[in-house]
């Protein structure tokens, strides 16, 4: 496990870096007491094509960059589920890690203190044959 200190260029300050094994353990454990939420920031069509990491919620960062700055009510109207609480740890992933880093920064700016990134993101998950949750059109992720 690594933490960014914020002193290095192109890093989100205080963002925890997660690896495949840590994400896989998180997915397999599913401890209801642990407030760690996986957030897939890819666009919905990408999830239809590939599936997602089991249990992840989808907040598409490219088409809905405002998602972390809108009201709780607007968020729920937009996604069909409650916005993750600010005391939760959010772990972001995308296809290759670039959007995940951006989303971690946006979440911090909006008030989430515990954020993390899975830099390998979907490409690493798929390469390592992590379990996949199929996403069907019209299904709300939660």
* Any domain includes 119: yes
- Which residue of the set 90, 94, 102, 107 is catalytic? 94
Q: How far apart are CA 139 and CA 126, in angstroms?
A: 22
| 111 catalytic per annotation | no
32-85 pLDDT, tens digit each: 667 899 999 999 999 999 999 999 999 999 888 889 999 999 999 999 999 999
CB-count exposure of residue 116 (10 Å: 0-12, 13-18, 19+): buried
The domain of 39 spans 22-127
CATH of the domain at 96: 3.40.250.10
Residues shown for the chain: 142
Cα torsion 62, 65, 104, 69 to 10°: value is -170
* Any domain includes 5: no
Largest separation between any pair of C-alpha atoms in the chain = 42
* Any domain includes 1: no
28-45 pLDDT, tens digit each: 987 666 789 999 999 999
Q: Report the number of distinct structural domains present in the chain.
A: 1
* Any domain includes 57: yes
């Amino acid at each position: 496990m690594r933490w960014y200190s914020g002193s290095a260029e192109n890093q989100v300050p205080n963002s925890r870096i997660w690896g495949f094994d840590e994400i896989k353990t998180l997915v397999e454990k599913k401890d209801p007491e642990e407030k760690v939420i996986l957030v897939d920031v890819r666009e919905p069509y990408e999830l239809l094509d590939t599936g997602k990491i089991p249990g992840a919620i989808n907040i598409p960062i490219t088409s809905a960059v405002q998602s972390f700055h809108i009201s709780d009510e607007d968020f729920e109207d937009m996604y069909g589920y409650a916005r993750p609480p600010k005391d939760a740890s959010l772990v972001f992933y995308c296809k290759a890690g670039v959007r995940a880093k951006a989303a971690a920064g946006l979440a911090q700016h909006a008030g989430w203190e515990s954020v993390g990134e899975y830099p390998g993101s979907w490409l690493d998950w798929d390469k390592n044959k992590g379990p996949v949750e199929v996403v069907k059109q019209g299904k709300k992720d939660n």
